Amino acid sequence: MDKSAQQIAVLFAGAALGGTYLGGYEWLRFFAYFGSWGTIGAVLASVGLGWFGYSVLDICRRVGIRSLHALFLYWFGEAFGPSLSVLSHIFILAYAGVVTGQHATQFAEGAPGLLFVLLPIVVASIWLNKGWNWILAGTAISVATGFLLFGLIFMEQHHVPIPNLGYQMNLNWIIHAILYLGLHFLLCLALTIPFAASAANRQAIRTGVCLGTLAFFVLLMTGQAILLAHWHDVHASSAPVKLILQQLIPMGDWLLAVLSLIHGGIVIAAILYALALPIVERHDLQLLPMLLVMLATLLLFALLPMAVSWSVSVIVSGATYCGLSLLIRYIWKRQTS
């Protein structure tokens, strides 16, 4: 397999899953809440990520777009592109911070929340110091760990209920599927555009996106089945997988906390590296100071949910709408070309 295809597959899967997928709350909120309709929404979100991701990355390869910033300039022009690019970069950085802080507080349970915030920041610092090879290897191992963890939990299920389609029969499920698509579409592009631009051919991009989407889809469907099987125990929880593991194995919650925070740190490293490198190359700056500034900014955003709880929804919404703006622009361009 082409090396660029492997790189795209790993980063696409990591970005589609997100930095907090092991906790299960995002899947619960976007899909499991809506029962069987949520399962349909998960399928549509997976197909959408794969289809739109491949289509846009192929455009980036053909045109020579090497960064998210260049994509905004190409689609929105000099008048709006730079402002939208800066806004999107800020929201991505803020999103990585606030979800890290939110995720840390879910595991703290009386312990100092700052300690759980600092762990992924330290992990990110180590991986950033090692560069792309470590980030790619770490993401691959982390995704493989997710397969193992969810596979073991799923094997313990004796029955997975399939909710009646009369339950949650409204449009909320498709709205949430579109919102998930918009948010993770932005993350997927930010991480994979640099590798798509250097891909040898279209087939390498197609292979990478297909493999990444398949890994995401299998994990998402497994997680959906697990959440539905434990629905009455976890439907009101902000850490559903943690509750499930507490019932299955001793110290399961601590095992999940360590795995989840390490995975979050690796995803943070991937996001910061992908955002920082194009800026450094474009403005002839030093990489290390740029990464340190980004890490410090991310840490501030990670502490924000502890003081202002509603900050998470505002920032996540902002990042989502930035992703949707790219998605809508692509559809518009496709229809008018």
User: What pLDDT score does 238 carry?
Assistant: 81
Which string of DSSP letters, residue by residue, matches 66-124? -SHHHHHHHHHHHHHHHHHHHHHHHHHHHHHHHHHHHHHHHHHTTS-HHHHHHHHHHHH
CATH of the domain at 135: 1.20.1740.10
Domain that holds residue 242: 3-336
Rounded to whole angstroms, the Cα distance separating 46 from 313 reads 23
* Per-residue pLDDT reduced to its tens digit, 152-204: 999 887 777 777 666 666 789 999 999 999 999 999 999 999 999 888 889 99
**pTM for the model:** 0.94
* Eight-state DSSP code of residue 251: T
Q: How many domains does the chain have?
A: 1
* Per-residue pLDDT reduced to its tens digit, 209-265: 999 999 999 999 999 999 998 888 888 888 899 889 988 888 878 888 889 989 999
What is the pLDDT confidence band of residue 40, given thresholds at 50, 70 and 90? very high
Cα 210-214-216 angle, rounded to 5 deg: 120
* Type of residue at 160: V
- More confident call, 43 vs 337: 43
Q: Is residue 111 predicted with pLDDT exceeding 60? A: no
Q: Is residue 290 predicted with pLDDT exceeding 60? A: yes
Q: Is residue 118 predicted with pLDDT exceeding 70? A: yes
**Cβ neighbour number for residue 129 with a 10 Å cutoff:** 11
* Eight-state DSSP code of residue 170: S
User: What pLDDT score does 133 carry?
Assistant: 93
Q: Do 241 and 40 touch, CB atoms closer than 8 A?
A: no
Q: Which two tokens stand for residue 166?
A: 């009369």
